[in-house]
Homo-oligomer: A and B are copies of this chain.
């Protein structure tokens, strides 16, 4: 087991740890620890909402979430000798849920997938599913089951949803400007188009007072992925993967968190994946001048590992960039196309007895593949979604007999 360079007591909030993490991007957040190139380290992680969600059959906790606190990140980790223009090599050696005996925290043998309420977060299909819902997943080694979505067992593709280096002050300024410009196009939209800096509930490591206030005013929210990586929610950052992170500030200042026991491509419910606290073991190294050497101007490069769960047979759904309700075309809009593929998948699963909410939660959590199949055939993009058939304990393939419909219960809803 590598040295623990960032430790978390899961019985306490991230803000009450000996060395707290952070929940905004800002170059002035001081490193929690400094490591040398070649180090192998363990980073412990708090689940992204800092423990607001409990193992229960009510979705009230999801409905009432304080969204100002996320994501509770571990770090920053400074790397000796890292300079702007370098690439950090970050190997994900291992990753897992909370290993120690502690309280009933997400990651201690269970995790959750939620549907955000439209009024508090929203999600990919918030117009269809505006109410908060939840599914609790129980972990059995690398397998997950849910009492809220019976008939399904799958192997998790475990990964950190979030992986990022610190931006420069200049980058940060440009992020804030461009996101505010987007918000300004529809400032009253619910859910919002983007999330501006939010001083409430800010956490910036050991910073306090005026420094903390400044991070609150300037710090970028951790929700979107950006040039520094960030909340990419790429399910394939799993065990054995190698990430090449651009370095923008001295030391690189790497942070991670938002661990997912499993997630499908798209993380479609937003509250999202199977969320958990836990740990991630990293090997950290450096390619000096790597950004120029390899033409990297923005975003990480990575290589997935070779122990991702294997599935051979998939049932696949297709969507195109047409608003079918209004018979309107959107020009090569892959987001809309994927949305339709997801909706087609949900309608399919409903014929087996699942509710729409269960199907939506399942497609968020299970290791589905979402592909941009065609993005040039004007005017319609085509996306496809691949659902492994082996995760069901009944035959989910189309046959002449029709679907095996059964009472499949219900997910956790609000009261």
Contacts and interface: CB of A to CB of B under 8 A. Distances in A.
Contacts of A36: none
A360 to B, nearest CB: 12
Given A179-B379, A234-B318, A300-B318, A92 B141 contact: yes
Interface residues of A, number: 130
A319 B232 CA distance: 9
A403 interface: yes
A182 interface: yes
A51 B339 CA distance: 37
A265 B347 contact: no
Interface string A279-315: 0010100011110011111111111111111111111
A309 B310 CA distance: 10
A324 interface: yes
B312 A390 contact: yes
B306 A306 contact: no
Interface in A315-365: 315-320, 322, 324, 327-335, 338-341, 344, 347-348, 350-351
11 contacts: A124-B375, A224-B320, A225-B382, A266-B376, A293-B351, A298-B344, A299-B320, A299-B344, A303-B313, A334-B383, A370-B371
Interface of A: 1, 40, 87, 89, 91-94, 99, 101, 109, 123-124, 140-143, 155, 174, 177-179, 181-182, 191-195, 223-227, 229, 231-236, 239-240, 244, 265-270, 272, 281, 283, 287-290, 293-320, 322, 324, 327-335, 338-341, 344, 347-348, 350-351, 369-384, 386, 389-390, 397-400, 402-403
